[in-house]
Amino acid sequence: MGNLFQSAPKVEQLLSEVNYDGIIKYIQDGKCTNIITMAGAGISTSAGIPDFRTPGTGLYDNLAKYDLPNPQAIFEIHFFRKNPAPFYALAKELYPGVFKPTPCHYFLRLLHEKKLLLRHYTQNIDTLERVAGIPEEMIVEAHGTFATAHCIDCRKQFSQEWVKDKVFADEIPKCTDKKCGGLVKPDIVFFGENLPFRFLSCSMKDFPKCDLLIILGTSLAVQPFASLIDRVPDTTPRLYINLEKSESDASNLLSKLMGGGGGFDFESDSKYRDVFWQGTCDDGCVSLSERLGWKAELDKLTLEEHAKIDKEIGQ
C-alpha cells in the first residue's frame, strides 16, 4: 500500500526564486496576464469596517448585546428564520455607508486597467470594489450584496431602499404578498445558503486559466471560498498578503488526506510557488506598486477618487 504522505511528483517551478522578489520578477517579465485576486474583510479594515475574526475588534467578538447562542448564528439561515431581530439590528449598523475604498482597492483597479486582472473574487459585502471603479463584470461577490433583497419564502424581490427604510424604522421587513408574509432578507449569503450562481460559473472557467493568484486580507476560514486557492493549476504561483498566516492547519491536513491541493506551502524544502507577505493589505499593495513602478499612478488615482467622493458627500 502506498504511503499517504509520500511526496508528489515534482511540479514545474515558474518563479525564478520562491519569494517576494520572484513574484515581482514574474509579473515584470510579463509571465502573467490572467491574475485572479481573492479578498476578505482585511482589505476594508483601513476604510473603517471591522473584520470578523480578529480578536477584540472583529465583529464576532462584539455581538454580546444580541445574546446569540454563538456569534456566527447571526448569519445562519435557520437561526434567522426563528429569530431575525438580531440580524436586522446589526444590519442597521452594517448598511454600506460612505466608506472610502482603500489604496488596496485602487491597486486592484490598476491591475484591471493594465489588463492583468482576470477577475476579482471577494467575500466582502461592502461594495467597495465597485465604488473603487472596478467594472461589475470583473468582480464576483461570492457572499452576495446588500444591493437587492428577497423574501426567503416566495423569493419576491425587494429594493435595498425598501428594506433599509424598514430596518431604520426598527421594523422587521416582511413580504408584501398577503398570502406569504415571509421575511425579506438582503441578498448577502448566510451560512446554510448557496453561493450565487455567478460564483460557480465564473470560478469554473476562470481558475484553470489563472497564472498568478493574489490572496488579500482573509483568514480563509470559510468554505467554499477558501478552497478556491486549490483550484488554480499546480504550477500557478500564489501570493498571500495578510496580517497573519491564518489558513487553518487542520483544513490543510484534511485536504492533503483527501488528495486535494493541500493549501499553501510557504516553508517546506519543496516549496515552489507559495509566497507569504506579512503586513496590511494597503502596505502590501503600495509595496507591489513601488516595485512595479506604479506608485505615482496609485497615489494619483487614490487622491482623485477620494476627492470625488468627498465632493459627492459635500465635504
Site of interaction with ligand OAD (CB under 6 A)? 40-42, 45-46, 51-54, 58, 75, 123, 143, 189, 217-219, 221-222, 242-244, 246, 280-281
Query: What, of ligand OAD, Zn ion, none, does residue 143 touch, CB below 5 to 8 Å by kind?
Result: ligand OAD
Query: What, of Zn ion, ligand OAD, none, does residue 46 touch, CB below 5 to 8 Å by kind?
Result: ligand OAD
In whole angstroms, the minimum distance from the beta carbon of 254 to ligand OAD comes to 18
Q: Which of residues 136-165 bind Zn ion (CB under 5 A)?
A: 151, 153-154, 156
Residue 88, CA distances (Å) to 17, 178, 208 in order: 50, 22, 39
Q: CB-wise, 45 or 302, nearer to ligand OAD? A: 45
**Residue 10 main-chain phi, psi, to 5 deg:** -65, 135
Q: Is 223 assigned to a binding site? A: no
Query: What, of Zn ion, ligand OAD, none, does residue 122 touch, CB below 5 to 8 Å by kind?
Result: none
Q: CB-wise, 22 or 182, nearer to Zn ion? A: 182
- Taking CB under 5 A as the criterion, the residue among 180, 195, 243, 309 binding Zn ion is 180
Active-site residue flag, 120: no
User: What distance in Å separates the CA atoms of residue 86 and residue 66, rounded to the nearest whole number?
Assistant: 6
Q: CB-wise, 151 or 212, nearer to Zn ion? A: 151
Q: CB-wise, 149 or 239, nearer to Zn ion? A: 149
Told to check if 182 binds Zn ion by CB under 5 A, we report yes
Q: Which of residues 201-220 bind Zn ion (CB under 5 A)?
A: none
Q: Is 42 assigned to a binding site? A: yes
User: What distance in Å separates the CA atoms of residue 81 and residue 77, rounded to the nearest whole number?
Assistant: 6
Q: Is 285 assigned to a binding site? A: no
- In the numeric block, the cell 493574489 is attached to 214
Segment interacting with Zn ion (CB under 5 A) among 160-168, 177-185, 224-232, 248-256: 177-185
Q: Is 51 assigned to a binding site? A: yes
Q: Is 310 assigned to a binding site? A: no
Q: CB-wise, 107 or 211, nearer to ligand OAD? A: 107
CA dihedral angle for residue 263, residue 268, residue 273, residue 276, rounded to 10 degrees? 70
Q: Which residues have CB under 8 Å from 13's CB, separation 6+?
A: 235, 272, 273
Query: What, of ligand OAD, Zn ion, none, does residue 175 touch, CB below 5 to 8 Å by kind?
Result: Zn ion
157 forms beta bridges with 150
Q: Is 165 assigned to a binding site? A: no
Active-site residue, from 105, 143, 150, 306: 143
Q: Is 149 assigned to a binding site? A: no
Q: Which residues have CB under 8 Å from 14's CB, separation 6+?
A: 26, 31, 235, 236, 237, 273
Query: What, of ligand OAD, Zn ion, none, does residue 182 touch, CB below 5 to 8 Å by kind?
Result: Zn ion
Q: For residue 224, is the peptide bond before it cis, meaning its omega torsion is within 30 degrees of 0?
A: yes
- Residues engaged in binding Zn ion (CB under 5 A): 151, 153-154, 156, 175, 177, 180, 182
Which residues are designated catalytic? 143
Binding site members for Zn(2+): 151, 154, 175, 180
